[in-house]
Amino acid sequence: MNLAQTCFGSNADGIQAQIDLAAEFGFSGVVPLPGDLLTIDDVEAFPAHLHGRVPVAAWSCLHPPADTNLPASPSSTVTEIWSRAAQQWTSVRSGLQLLGAQALILDVGFLQAAGAQQRGEKLLMDFMENGAPGPAQEALEPLQNPAGGELERQLDALARFLHGIHQRAPGLILAVTANASPAGLLRPAHLQILRQDAGLTWLSYWHDCGNVQTRAAFGMEQPGDWLDAAGGAIAGCTLQDWADGRDLLLPGEGQVDFQLVAEYLPRPAVRVLAAAPVYPIGSLPAAREALASFGIR
């Protein structure tokens, strides 16, 4: 069992100190997930003897901060935006090598329809503030049922992006993951389209218990839909509980069906416990034991 870098908060010491602290409490390593931040100094100074202690890292943690005026997306049908994402690969690959990570988590972006990302972000923010989805179904419906032609073109762009990364690093485990926003591009059916129709049979999936629970609360896919679609291609899982729009809760404090997750997790899948930094690190071994009681070890 690993700890998410999220557990240490934004003001914590560097990742080497986090690994040492995690080890004190019986955790194998530390994983920077989407939304976490690794500094260039952290990556460049990472010692080889700690290889294996960061088994996986998120794409978003391994490249320089993006200029908001210069968007980058691996699923964009706009060549310039797609190319900017592809250009990030050099720094991402270097970071993986320096950390000794064998797997990469990729959030593939948002629906490209005009205003979709902004609508999704507003719906998500309102949900987090109010503890329940708002009444703005007219904003949600286009996100639940995106236009077919534009969606197909986005999936084609994403498949070309993923294929290019695989060609450059065929031994890397590349896992796509769901975005909590209802405007997130990836859906369970898209996993099968990418793996089967697009021929990306090597593609893996990263299951984030909190993100898929949020999507389910919006009336999108159920958590089991993601697990069914991925099957044996699950590379790992972010283990966090969720309730009433709040994520990063300890296992047992929310609504996540961890027994269901346990049924699907392959033995080699990376397990990452994620919790809000308000929880003391010393309380997390008990959370690990709670997961064990659900069958996740």
Predicted pLDDT at 66? 67
Instruction: Report phi then psi at 71, rounded to 5.
Output: -65, 150
Say if residue 4's pLDDT is above 80.
yes
> pLDDT digit string (tens) for 229-248?
999 999 999 999 999 999 99
Predicted pLDDT at 130? 84
Has this prediction a pTM greater than 0.75? yes
pLDDT tier, 27 (very low <50, low <70, confident <90, very high otherwise): very high
Query: What is the spatial distance between Cα 210 and Cα 236, in angstroms, rounded to a whole number?
Result: 14
Q: Which among 14, 79, 78 has a CA at the least distance from the CA of 40? A: 14
Mean pLDDT in residue range 11-16? 83
Torsion angle of C-alpha atoms 10, 11, 14, 17, degrees rounded to 10: -110
Predicted pLDDT at 128? 86
Instruction: Say which amino acid occupies 152.
Output: E
Instruction: Say which amino acid occupies 71.
Output: P
pLDDT tier, 67 (very low <50, low <70, confident <90, very high otherwise): low
Q: What is the DSSP string of 14-25?
A: -HHHHHHHHHHT
Mean pLDDT in residue range 195-223? 97
* Per-residue tokens: 252: 């047992």
Mean pLDDT in residue range 89-116? 96
Kindly state the percentage of the chain with pLDDT values over 90: 83
Query: What is the spatial distance between Cα 269 and Cα 206, in angstroms, rounded to a whole number?
Result: 9
Mean pLDDT in residue range 204-212? 98
Predicted pLDDT at 64? 72
Kindly state the percentage of the chain with pLDDT values over 70: 96
Assess contact for 288 and 294: CB atoms under 8 A.
Answer: no
Mean pLDDT in residue range 260-267? 97
Please state the separation of Cα 56 from the chain's center in Å: 11
Query: What is the spatial distance between Cα 186 and Cα 195, in angstroms, rounded to a whole number?
Result: 13
Helix (H, G, I), strand (E, B) or coil at 124: helix
* Per-residue tokens: 232: 């044996």
> pLDDT digit string (tens) for 128-181?
888 877 665 557 888 988 878 999 999 999 999 999 999 999 999 999 999 999
Predicted pLDDT at 175? 98
Please state the separation of Cα 297 from the chain's center in Å: 20
Say if residue 5's pLDDT is above 90.
yes
DSSP designation for 136:
-
* Per-residue tokens: 199: 């021929």
Least confident of 94-98, 118-122, 196-200, 256-260: 118-122
DSSP designation for 182:
T
Query: What is the spatial distance between Cα 248 and Cα 14, in angstroms, rounded to a whole number?
Result: 21
CATH numbers and ranges of domains, the chain: 2-293 (3.20.20.150)
Q: How many other C-beta atoms lie within 10 A of the C-beta of residue 293? A: 12
Query: What is the spatial distance between Cα 149 and Cα 249, in angstroms, rounded to a whole number?
Result: 39
Predicted pLDDT at 136? 58
Predicted pLDDT at 70? 83
Mean pLDDT for all residues in the chain? 94
Mean pLDDT in residue range 109-135? 87
